[in-house]
Chain A
């Protein structure tokens, strides 16, 4: 791509970074509203039970307690959910998990609220509970919801797998499992609210989607749209879990009844107990190759446990089915992914939406086949890796920006060097080294459904530009990138753009900060708005500069004639003229990626407009005596289309790798047991290896300046690369995540590296 850019492609200073390093920035828990009351919920202490009665009298008698609300106090619809509505804000007649809230206590202080919540008396009739999703699907299983335990099923079917298995050279069938994962953003969920002079309920929240929050709170309270305003507070990470309502509904309910300021800050313990987790999967997969190592068939039956509520579960099932093949062309595919209710803590979105779980399966199978055929792991991926012109399992023709082979090529020299110089280098007699490769693809945006974004780009008569976007920046840097895109279009500096972000009082819906979609989709929406504004400015300039529109361009706050840049007029002057003539300087941008809904039986369709690709290489050292794994280095090549902010892209890659290390080796959320950060292990700096980030730019024609996304892709290949590295080091495969001390030492013993004395 020879096109020259001035602003995009540069790692400009990130928005708010100064306020973040000085401590001035206000996260939700830092917002101080005068005379604010404190909220606390009484949560279920039963995984599954009917509620016989709720007695709030003793709670109300606690000194400092102002009010206690139950489901009966909800004026609107007490049913929440991003995709399907099945989760009450406050339980009505039954609780389905330990996370379920039963009553909301409002008090003067945290202590009073806590004592009040403890004093709420709930009489339960215990019900049998089901925690295993496979059990939950069996006939006669306890029903978590009346409609049954099967929330959804996504099938992707193409060709004839049975015929392919019959004719195949090599067939391998295995089962994989992954653990439930806690997002563990460092900022526990929090919010605050007040009622403004117009009677509008104003709620500050730590959130990934303020416009969704708005819709839910409006529905919950049964009020008009303009009676609720959600303002995204500076948000300390989300990784998917802040897509669900956390405190917003409770704050809304208290404001509705009490009309005075309230705040609700989850303790870490409550955030662990009450917020969504990553879906654990059980994946049974059978794959076949011909004698050259070409994959000819993939059959998969997978079950994911969504716990008590749907949240993003249907999307996880859908995306995982579509991503089951990995970034490989396979002619015969038969995938069935079921999403199942149980009485576990509910699972929702988490970085990758099922794709990381799938990647464990497809990348392990890839290595197993390579081993069976005596092929090099990189070589078998080259043979099967998607190329432009090929068709995916859903029948989608991939036309452009298919950079998977480029990612493999970028990793290759590191791989060859590591094999030659590192793998066999002298090491401790009881440590073994391994190199693992992990590949991935990731569809940008939601799966086969509309998921538009909008934005407004405005210029004042003085020429100052403001972008209004509902796009929540949760730390990944979207605000900076959207400013860069606007500045690029209008010939301004990124810091000339004022960004108004995530305030339903003045921004329009940009959809969720999820699915790695904001750069691509909201980037395009902002670009659309900016281009519409640019168009009227150029039209005005034609008149001023007496030159045709296509000869003009924006430069340094001016419109100039391309071949004679000294002939120019300032954007401010043009804005004033348009304004004075009654023209509009405020333009709404829109973008919705072109997708085709998936056929319910075959999965045929176009789930995403574009895909990101990546390949990671892990160098691991395994202590065969103790089961400890030391990840020495991750080389991470990512096709991001066009890196609009390379510093951000590198940040996403390094952060994704760290999360991938946790997913691979140590993270496992056990509902009822994992209570605080003492019980859950997130990688420290000492656990995270050196990362070599490699940015591959295979421009996406429909992307803003060629960009795609990188947020989730960064995480996906890491765990499979590490697992493949451990397997190669031990010559023994681990099929279950995390590959913790217990599993690694067991593999080491089984492989005969450590003969335990009997």
Chain B
């Protein structure tokens, strides 16, 4: 009775040819953890399932010419267990710790998490603070776009149906302080109500010399919050400053989203989580 066909391409090139041919009637299975849910609910009704979960070309985490390259097919478990990421992108590693469940981390991929374009994708804020670029392969060849351009809105992707994310290229950084935090309705197996990622370095005089900050799950697409970074840099981190930075963050968020019902919680909570996350930086 099944009307869906299964295709397992042997290479990225092969996959792109298939995707170019099938267009939007194909759904890509990388880890499958989102696609399978959408298939069950009827959210998507593809005619073809293109299984790229075993393409070696999409695997691996490595340094290439001072850039940190993460294959799109790397699983969340692999991210959590990577020594390279622990050193050069620790916030990303942390985002994998509370990602869904062990079972899901074992198959869900970073490429899938980004391509799904959920505002709540936990790997996105850490990728944003590392100013990650996304390597796309399509029928017209390869492209490199900023991570923030992948989603054009909630669950809406910039990608053409024939395009495939093959890797992420991050600016590695051994920041003095890096973290990822999320709030969910329970401690595990939770979708982020809000999430954030940060990297901070301080000067010898104790002022913040470098900061990258991204907010997730609050805006239609995760955002680097440059006004907050600019406000904080050059200042000595005090508790008062954190509260002020949190306030600015909330304002920036509301500027993007407007006052939706969920703001009643999110307005104070982004401030609170900002203070909580950055508190270790105070002296």
Direct touching of A and B (C-beta under 8 Å): yes
Q: Are A666 and B185 in contact (CB under 8 A)?
A: yes
Chain A residue at minimum C-beta to C-beta distance from B185: A681
A272: min CB distance to chain B, Å: 13
Q: Are B268 and A686 in contact (CB under 8 A)?
A: no
Q: Are B1 and A112 in contact (CB under 8 A)?
A: yes
Q: Are B188 and A684 in contact (CB under 8 A)?
A: yes
Q: Which of B188, B189, B268 contacts A756 (CB 8 A)?
A: B268
Identify the interface centre among B41, B268, B271: most chain A CB within 10 Å of its CB: B268
Q: Which chain B residues (259-282) contact chain A, with CB distance < 8 Å?
A: 264-265, 267-269, 271-273, 275-276, 279
- Supposing A625-B275, A757-B243 touch, asked if A745 and B187 sit within 8 A by C-beta, the answer is no
Q: Are B276 and A626 in contact (CB under 8 A)?
A: yes
Residues of A within 8 A of B268 (CB): 745, 749, 754, 756
Q: Are B183 and A626 in contact (CB under 8 A)?
A: yes
Q: Are A757 and B265 in contact (CB under 8 A)?
A: no
Q: Are A678 and B37 in contact (CB under 8 A)?
A: yes
Q: Taking the complex as formed, is A170 at the interface, i.e. its CB lies under 8 A from any CB of chain B?
A: no
Q: Are B265 and A756 in contact (CB under 8 A)?
A: no
Identify the interface centre among B1, B193, B272, B276: most chain A CB within 10 Å of its CB: B272
- Supposing A628-B183, A681-B190 touch, asked if A430 and B267 sit within 8 A by C-beta, the answer is no
Q: Which chain A residues (601-631) contact chain B, with CB distance < 8 Å?
A: 623-628
Q: Taking the complex as formed, is B90 at the interface, i.e. its CB lies under 8 A from any CB of chain A?
A: no
Q: Which of A678, A685, A687, A757 contacts B271 (CB 8 A)?
A: A757
Q: Which chain B residues (174-200) contact chain A, with CB distance < 8 Å?
A: 183, 185-191, 193
- Chain A, residues 126-160, CB within 8 Å of chain B (1/0): the string is 00000000000000000000000000000000000
Q: Which B residues have a C-beta under 8 Å from some C-beta of A?
A: 1, 37, 41, 183, 185-191, 193, 243-244, 246-247, 264-265, 267-269, 271-273, 275-276, 279
Q: Taking the complex as formed, is A184 at the interface, i.e. its CB lies under 8 A from any CB of chain B?
A: no
Q: Are B276 and A757 in contact (CB under 8 A)?
A: no
Residues of B within 8 A of A625 (CB): 269, 271-273, 275-276
Q: With A626-B183, A757-B244 given, name 18 new contacts (CB 8 A).
A: A429-B279, A430-B272, A430-B279, A623-B276, A624-B272, A625-B271, A625-B273, A681-B185, A684-B187, A686-B186, A686-B188, A740-B185, A741-B269, A754-B272, A756-B267, A756-B268, A756-B271, A758-B247
Q: Are A686 and B272 in contact (CB under 8 A)?
A: no
- Supposing A741-B265, A742-B264 touch, asked if A666 and B186 sit within 8 A by C-beta, the answer is yes
Query: Once bound together, how far apart are the Cα atoms of A757 and B243, in whole Å?
Result: 7
Q: Taking the complex as formed, is A450 at the interface, i.e. its CB lies under 8 A from any CB of chain B?
A: no
Q: Which A residues have a C-beta under 8 Å from some C-beta of B?
A: 64, 109, 111-112, 429-430, 623-628, 666, 676, 678, 681, 683-687, 740-742, 745, 749, 754-758
Residues of A within 8 A of B279 (CB): 429-430
Query: Once bound together, how far apart are the Cα atoms of A382 and B265, in whole Å?
Result: 39
- Supposing A430-B276, A430-B279, A756-B271 touch, asked if A687 and B244 sit within 8 A by C-beta, the answer is no
Q: Are A676 and B41 in contact (CB under 8 A)?
A: yes
Query: With contacts defined as CB atoms under 8 Å apart, how many contacts are there between chain A and chain B in the complex?
Result: 74
Residues of A within 8 A of B272 (CB): 430, 623-627, 745, 754
Q: Which of A741, A749, A756 contacts B183 (CB 8 A)?
A: A741
6 closest cross-chain pairs (CB), A and B: A625-B272, A757-B247, A686-B187, A686-B188, A742-B265, A684-B188
A66: min CB distance to chain B, Å: 15
B159: min CB distance to chain A, Å: 24
- Supposing A623-B276, A678-B37, A745-B272 touch, asked if A685 and B183 sit within 8 A by C-beta, the answer is no
Q: Which of B37, B186, B247, B267 contacts A681 (CB 8 A)?
A: B186
Chain A residue at minimum C-beta to C-beta distance from B282: A429
Q: Which of B186, B244, B275 contacts A683 (CB 8 A)?
A: B186
Residues of B within 8 A of A683 (CB): 186
Provide 25 A-B residue pairs closer than 8 Å at the C-beta atoms, listed in order of the A residue.
A430-B276, A430-B279, A623-B272, A625-B273, A625-B276, A626-B272, A626-B276, A627-B183, A627-B265, A627-B272, A628-B183, A678-B191, A684-B187, A685-B188, A687-B188, A740-B185, A741-B193, A741-B265, A741-B269, A742-B265, A745-B265, A754-B272, A756-B247, A756-B268, A757-B243
Q: Which of A109, A111, A624, A684 contacts B186 (CB 8 A)?
A: A684
B1: min CB distance to chain A, Å: 5
Chain B residue at minimum C-beta to C-beta distance from A109: B1
Residues of A within 8 A of B183 (CB): 626-628, 741
Query: Once bound together, how far apart are the Cα atoms of A685 and B189, in whole Å?
Result: 10
Q: Are B247 and A626 in contact (CB under 8 A)?
A: no
Q: Which of B41, B187, B247, B273 contacts A687 (CB 8 A)?
A: B187
Residues of B within 8 A of A666 (CB): 185-186
Residues of A within 8 A of B247 (CB): 756-758
Query: Once bound together, how far apart are the Cα atoms of A746 and B178, in whole Å?
Result: 29
Residues of B within 8 A of A740 (CB): 185
Q: Which of A111, A687, A755 contacts B1 (CB 8 A)?
A: A111
Query: Once bound together, how far apart are the Cα atoms of A624 and B275, in whole Å?
Result: 11
A528: min CB distance to chain B, Å: 46
Chain A residue at minimum C-beta to C-beta distance from B270: A626
Residues of A within 8 A of B41 (CB): 676
Query: Once bound together, how far apart are the Cα atoms of A236 and B220, in whole Å?
Result: 40
Residues of B within 8 A of A623 (CB): 272, 276
Q: Are A684 and B269 in contact (CB under 8 A)?
A: no
A19: min CB distance to chain B, Å: 24
Residues of A within 8 A of B244 (CB): 757
Query: Once bound together, how far apart are the Cα atoms of A742 and B193, in whole Å?
Result: 11
Residues of A within 8 A of B243 (CB): 755, 757
Residues of B within 8 A of A742 (CB): 264-265
Query: Once bound together, how far apart are the Cα atoms of A740 and B193, in whole Å?
Result: 12
Residues of B within 8 A of A681 (CB): 185-186, 190
Chain B residue at minimum C-beta to C-beta distance from A677: B189
Chain A residue at minimum C-beta to C-beta distance from B262: A742
B268: min CB distance to chain A, Å: 5
- Supposing A109-B1, A678-B37, A757-B244 touch, asked if A430 and B275 sit within 8 A by C-beta, the answer is yes
B103: min CB distance to chain A, Å: 12
Identify the interface centre among A109, A623, A686, A757: most chain B CB within 10 Å of its CB: A757
Identify the interface centre among A623, A626, A741: most chain B CB within 10 Å of its CB: A626
Query: Once bound together, how far apart are the Cα atoms of A666 and B183, in whole Å?
Result: 13
Q: Are A741 and B271 in contact (CB under 8 A)?
A: no
B145: min CB distance to chain A, Å: 30
Q: Are A627 and B188 in contact (CB under 8 A)?
A: no
Residues of A within 8 A of B187 (CB): 684, 686-687
Query: Once bound together, how far apart are the Cα atoms of A429 and B276, in whole Å?
Result: 10
Query: Once bound together, how far apart are the Cα atoms of A314 and B144, in whole Å?
Result: 65
Query: Once bound together, how far apart are the Cα atoms of A740 and B273, in whole Å?
Result: 16
Chain A residue at minimum C-beta to C-beta distance from B191: A678
Query: Once bound together, how far apart are the Cα atoms of A586 and B39, in whole Å?
Result: 56
A748: min CB distance to chain B, Å: 8
Q: Are B1 and A626 in contact (CB under 8 A)?
A: no
Query: Once bound together, how far apart are the Cα atoms of A684 and B98, in whole Å?
Result: 13
Chain B residue at minimum C-beta to C-beta distance from A630: B187
Residues of B within 8 A of A64 (CB): 1
Query: Once bound together, how far apart are the Cα atoms of A555 and B272, in whole Å?
Result: 67
Chain B residue at minimum C-beta to C-beta distance from A742: B265
Residues of B within 8 A of A678 (CB): 37, 191
